[in-house]
Amino acid sequence: MDTRTLGILGGGQLGRMLVESAHRLNIKTLLLDAPGAPAKQINALHDHIDGSFKDAAKIKELSQRCDVITTEIEHVDAAPLAELEKQGFEVWPSSATIITIQDKYVQHKHLAEHDLPLPYFIPIDTPTTEALEKTGAELGYPYMLKSRTMAYDGRGNYAVKSSTDIPAALEALGDKPLYAEKWCEFTRELAVMVVRGKDGQVASYPAVETVQENSICKYVYAPARNLSSELQSAAQKLAREAIACLPTGAVGIFGVEMFELPGGKLLLNEIAPRPHNSGHYTLSACEISQFEAHIRAVMGLPLPETIGEMKVQHCVMYNLLGEETIDVAKNSLSVEGASVYLYGKAEMKKGRKMGHINIVGSTPAEVDERLARVLGKKEPKRT
Ligand code: ATP
Ligand code: MG
Ligand code: MG
């Protein structure tokens, strides 16, 4: 299909699922990450590069052995990618896109400058007690203190409920570059996957409902339950607008997280320039998964406008976190409509994403009932 080799920065679960999709299209992939990383385990065809996706020398070495570079994570060193682009090397999404997204304050400023709706946010120049008290006076309590960089699974967030929380907040995040957001009283969280090609073609997947527990995604309902068709369209439109305003070279799949407010107003939460946890359902519920869509986009293959359409009526994705993984994964093998994806992570840690289960069905009740059996419960789970 394609004789070019795709280099991928990062070999975690997203890289692993990208590799699977690329292989179905006969596209060779070369990975840069630690030895034995999840994506390397299923791709023993080539000599991958052992090292960090933050190491400029390793990124250069990767570029010498592939034709196109992409990334499964935004926390990469973007400077060597910019150098490669100057030499005419293909990097998708572009370094400019990654730079705009990887610092969440820069990302929010960029989106706000393009008049897109966000929770009110302010910078914090120096993390001191006085600065956080001033922030409380401006935003009110509670407010969300956020690390500008390296955030994932809520680990860079601290909910400051009152001024008495400030010492603990500084203890948790005081060594990081910070900003703060007004607390958002959302009714629920939605997310939309958007794919963008090199010629600017855009397609979106349906808006899904994501349910976070302790700031980590636990369930994703696709499509979002009881969402009016107006709001479904509005969420996809907002997600497309957010991607359209990114710097040139915003090519690939993007996850757009948003908050739904009482009355149906939508605010953006954040963008991920890569496959996203809220898009894992596409592996079971769509003709073309988010991973294949990304491969197609970065390799310049066709992206039909209908790429995001679902082939089943309903799907729930359940994240396997930490110790529960093996028991729940085993249960899922006996439940109709359920498919399990395990990531091959070396170590089980509390709360760590070890895999996920997609459950498809023809009604929300059927999906709930199947999920209850996967979880070993008799009564359907209500969220
Ligand atoms: P991810 O793993 O999605 O990259 P992250 O670590 O970058 O997450 P955010 O998406 O910023 O963190 O926040 C994680 C969760 O915390 C959100 O999904 C939401 O549930 C909650 N949250 C974030 N910002 C706010 C806010 N301003 N008000 C209320 N809750 C918030
Ligand atoms: Mg994030
Ligand atoms: Mg998030």
Q: Dihedral of CA 198/107/29/153: which sign?
A: negative
Cα angle vertex 211, ends 208, 375, to 5°? 105
State the distance from the centre of ligand 1 to the C-alpha of 375, rounded, in angstroms: 25
State in Å, rounded, how far the first CA of the chain is from the last one: 44
State the distance from the centre of ligand 2 to the C-alpha of 153, rounded, in angstroms: 7
Does residue 141's CB lie within 6 angstroms of at least one atom of ligand 1? no
Ramachandran quadrant class, 154 (left: phi over 0; alpha: psi -120 to 50; beta: rest): left
Per-residue pLDDT, 84: 98
Residues in the chain predicted with pLDDT less than 50, given as ranges, are none
Per-residue pLDDT, 231: 98
DSSP 303-342: --TTTT-BSSSEEEEEEEEGGGHHHHHHHHTTSTTEEEEE
Per-residue pLDDT, 45: 78
State the complex-level ipTM: 0.99
pTM: 0.97
Residue of 141, 144, 157 best suited for mutating to test ligand 1, as the one with most atoms within 8 Å of CB: 157
Give me the residue label for tokens 């349906």. Answer: 206
Nearest to 175 by CA among 156, 159, 161, 160: 156
Q: Which atom of ligand 1 is nearest to the CA of 212?
A: 20
The Cα 373–Cα 376 span in angstroms is 5
pLDDT tens figures, 325-377:
999 999 999 999 999 999 999 898 999 999 999 999 999 999 999 999 999 98
Q: Please give the structure tokens belonging to residue 317.
A: 């994705």
Residue of 150, 155, 269, 280 best suited for mutating to test ligand 1, as the one with most atoms within 8 Å of CB: 269
State the distance from the centre of ligand 2 to the C-alpha of 272, rounded, in angstroms: 7
State the distance from the centre of ligand 2 to the C-alpha of 217, rounded, in angstroms: 11
Does residue 187's CB lie within 6 angstroms of at least one atom of ligand 1? no
Per-residue pLDDT, 47: 86
3-state secondary structure 87-154: CCCEECCCHHHHHHHHCHHHHHHHHHHCCCCCCCEEEECCCCHHHHHHHHHHHCCCEEEEECCCCCCC
Per-residue pLDDT, 194: 98
pLDDT tens figures, 204-226:
999 999 999 988 999 999 999 99
